[in-house]
Every structure is written in C-alpha cells, then in structure tokens.
Amino acid sequence: MKIIVTVKQVPDTTGKVSVKPDGTLDRASMETVTNPDDLNAVEAALQLKDQYGAKVITVTMGPMQAESMLRELYAMGVDECVLVSGREFGGSDTYATSQIIAAAIDTIGLDEDDIILAGRQAIDGDTAQVGPQIAEKLHLPQVSYAAEITKEDDGLLIKRMLEDGYMMIKVKTPCLITCVKELNEPRYMSVQGIEDCFDKEIRILSYEDLKDHPLIDKTTIGLQGSPTNIYKSFTPPQKSAGRMLKGNAQETAAELAKCLAEKHLI
C-alpha cells in the first residue's frame, strides 16, 4: 500500500503578515510553515503505515525553497518526498495546480490499494479546491472533511463532517480523502529522524519530467492555463481607532449603553 499525501508550504498567516503598497503580499518578510491541515493528512498516513505497513510519499508543488519543509516531513517519518518544481508551473490557480499534481501522482503511479490524502484547505488561499480537483483529474472517488479514517478490507470507512452532523461513508481504494484537524494530533519530528533527514534524497519532478503526460499542456498549466485571474487585489480599509471609555466599571457600562442607544443599536 502506498499513501500519497499532498502538502504545501505556506506563509504563516497566523503570524505577522505584511502587505506591500501595491496590495500584494510581501512574502519575503513572512515565515513559512507546512500548511497545518496537511500535517493532519501526513499524520493520518503515518498512523496507517504504523498499523498496516505502507510507503508514505508526500507530493508538493513549489519553489526549491520548499526543501526545508520536506526535510521536516522526512524527520516525521515520511518515506519519500517529491517536489514538483518548474517555472512553467508558476502562477497556477487551483485548476492548473490540480492538473500538475494529478500528473505527478500519475507518474508516481497508483495501485488498487493506494490512498491519496490531502489537507482540507491551505491557510494562504483557503480554497479547499485542489484536493477534489485532483480526484476529478484522476477519475477517483473522493471524500472530503474526514474526521476519522478506518481501514477496512476493501477500502476505507470515513467519518465525513457536515455543518450539522456527519456521514459515515465507505469508499473503495484508490481514492482521495481530505483531512480536517479533528482527525488527529500531528506527531513531532523524531530525534533519529532529524539526524537522518539531511541524507534523504528529494525526488524532483520538473516540467521536462512531466511534459509528455496527457494532463500537461501549456494551455492548462501555469498562469496561461489558469481559468481564473486576479483582477484587483486590495487591503480592507483601516478601521479608525475607536473610543476608550473612561471611569470605573459602572461608569463605563453606563456610558456605553448610552452610546449604543443613541446609535439605535440597542
């Protein structure tokens, strides 16, 4: 059994985020992290490996700098890290990204009992689209928002979260599952893993390696091949500083009630 996990290195939007005057993100000034939901997917893969034995392969698309993240994944216990990298892939939206990653997964190869795991969504774009779009491109069944994954003889039993409850869904392999954070608590890197991770080889898949795959075509990848484009980007208006109410608890509460009543808010 192979478990392929899609991962992404993202700017840490929970920390300091700076925006350039032209309304684009100043990525250089930001820390990068492994997308949090992707770590839940990696953990789920490692747990299945611990229990049943499996080869865990992560696939990421990005610049060569993503190597630092991949070393950390090796240190967690991942068996092979694949980096899909090339100028031709830059500027891809979710449609184009899924074409490329689907081609990479197909190049790695999928067998009957293989599983693809993805995080629910990435914290930079929050789209949750690439997972389902990879599944479509590979003609695989998908189950998203998985909070429990149980392996059964001929497939997986998934607890799929809904806003108002959940569904229990059985799905045959190969399939694609997207994972929510309730699924597990990602493990730390092991000491031995950290020692060994720098000797591990990272498999690079470049445009040259993928260009003959049927999914790869100049009209379906990169900025040129992306159906969506950014028309404008901007920052929300700065909220002007509010009013600090002065006095003790009783006085400030009375003043606030008066202000809200004047504005007909209460």
Partner 1 sequence: MTFNSMNLDEFHDVWVFAEQRQGELMPAVLELISEGRKLADELHCELHAVLPGHDVDSLAVTLGGYGADKVLIYDHELLKNYRTETYTEVIAQAVETYKPEILLFVASNIGRDLAPRCAARLHTGLCADCTHLDVDLGGYIDFLRKESSVDVDNTSFESKMFDVERNLKMTRPAFGGHLMATIVCPRFRPAMATVRPGVMKLREYSAEKAAAVQVEKPAFRLDESDVQTDIIEIVKSTRKQVDLIGADVIVSVGQGIARDVEKGLALAAELADELGGVLGATRAVIDNGWLSADHQVGQTGKTVRPKIYIALGISGAIQHKSGMQDSECIIAVNKAENAPIFEIADYGIVGDLFDVAPKLIEEFRKAKQ
Residues 160-189 that bind partner 1 (CB under 8 A): 160-172, 181-182
What is the distance, to the nearest Å, from the Cα of residue 232 to the centroid of all Cα atoms in its chain?
Answer: 24
Question: Which of residues 47, 55, 108, 132 is near partner 1 by CB under 8 A?
Answer: 132
- Report in angstroms how near the CB of residue 33 gets to partner 1 at its nearest: 13
Three-class SS state of 237: coil
Quote the CA–CA distance of 123 and 50 in Å, as a whole number.
28
Question: Which of residues 35, 85, 137, 183 is near partner 1 by CB under 8 A?
Answer: 137
For the chain, what's the residue count? 266
- Report in angstroms how near the CB of residue 25 gets to partner 1 at its nearest: 6
Question: Which of residues 57, 143, 146, 177 is near partner 1 by CB under 8 A?
Answer: 143
DSSP state of 89: G
Quote the CA–CA distance of 223 and 266 in Å, as a whole number.
50
Subset of residues 204 to 233 that bind partner 1, contact rule: CB under 8 A: 226-233
Quote the CA–CA distance of 48 and 139 in Å, as a whole number.
23
Subset of residues 86 to 125 that bind partner 1, contact rule: CB under 8 A: 93-95, 98, 123-125
Based on the shown chain and the rule CB under 8 A, indicate whether residue 257 belongs to the binding site for partner 1. yes
- Report in angstroms how near the CB of residue 67 gets to partner 1 at its nearest: 23
- Would you put residue 62 in left (φ > 0), alpha (ψ -120 to 50) or beta? left
For partner 1, the closer CB: 191 or 249: 249
Return the closest-CA partner of residue 101 out of 57, 70, 156: 57
Subset of residues 20 to 59 that bind partner 1, contact rule: CB under 8 A: 23-25
- Report in angstroms how near the CB of residue 50 gets to partner 1 at its nearest: 25
For partner 1, the closer CB: 51 or 250: 250
For partner 1, the closer CB: 64 or 167: 167
CA 124-35-68 angle, to 5 degrees, is 110
